[in-house]
Structure 1
């Protein structure tokens, strides 16, 4: 694809040779003459002097060296993402049901159901839905047009998934939430989980991510939410539109997360909390109380040598005693000043 054709579709200002041929995307340090790359952080400006890329996407206000083509735009990384979609569109899928699949509901002719998949009774599938090999869609579930399930996805009964979603391999949507009451003798009594999982449009669910159904109310994932791999979302959680959550995050039950939030990898959020819109939670942070105001929140310790950590933690264990001694010394000082 020529660079001027890309600019004609995506906008931006083209500097350099309009007929530069672009075949792939690559980082600045490894790109070749037929590759396009991007520079989003000005501190890597020197890489423009050495890159062999045929074209580079750069931000406004930068004066790039001569000798190659440039696309000048407001947001280079976003523009790069658009170019990636342009060069690597999703393959078109032909409708049809594999002979090794089981389908017990009427479905549109444009739907593809691959080998080993199972579509139960009373399921409603929109146009151009893809049900990957070995996937299971439980009775009474609804999946909107254009949504694609990869291999071995499990959708429990009565779940609702919107249009143009991507559900990756091994994801489990609608399993029972972790709900139990305890007998006096210690035995656990299971509480039936009678809610659903309701997922909006344009949602992506990563591989092996699990989203539990609600206990009585629904677990709700808003439009445009992006979930990485191996995330656990417990029963009755509500996640607002366009929030992104990185891998290995655990969200306990009945927590409400606002719109446009970003949750870093391996963060943990305990149950029954409220998190405002536009909150950023840093990787590895444990959120133990509600966050009422937009901003960036971090609560973790930096990596250090084990011996240093043991020594510093031993000091932390004595903080209460140290505080009591300081208060006692302050009282003595106050008495001394008063007597003088």
Structure 2
């Protein structure tokens, strides 16, 4: 799900894995205990919703045309209009989480470049995004940057989709992180094909996503590793802390954020090495052996057991 990144930049200018969890991140990303930080409360407010990244055209085309991925996951290639922009995404959707891939050139401006990426973490209970916003202010973020995203289902009528908050309104270098909360107007629109609420104030990920994941192997994203420029990383960590994630520093200058069932690894890199590196996925059933598929410049290893690891090659030479 692409936030209106171009509009955000205009507004600012005008107004102002295989990495196993047991050994986990490779030697270049070993945890440094001195950098640990605890969430302010025991209750998680934001959870991994989805991540996106711009990959090379060879990989994007291979993903788009992969028959294996159509069987492996609730897979969709969709063109979406929202916030004044239209984009084509390649989606692998699970029970509560999903992954979105773009090709080089799919998006406008710098967002079309290889390695551009973003991370959405979302509230499960209505009002929690407001609590996160207050936590950001309490932590010293004087003016968190709010934005409301809309969606156009094709009739020209903008439907409120979700509210977002960021730690800054300044343009990022390559990585855009935001907190989000789905809106009642979107859940009320039958074209969104969402589910009824499970409790009063339910704005959760499982309600938003369809149950078609159950007919495929992929269940959810449990681990993701992304290369992030240092300035973008500095703007990301306060949001994750405010959302209740536990943050651990890495020796490479990056960080691990844990909470809500997904481990997020953010390596501190220069712009040339930014972008998606690896995703680990849980499966709906255990497999006796591993199946390995080469998809463009990436490798998807499925099994053994109830997990898959999808590794992406570095920038093409």
- Whichever structure has more strand as a proportion of its residues is 2
- Whichever structure has more helix as a proportion of its residues is 2
TM-score by length of 1: 0.19
Which protein shows a greater Rg? 1
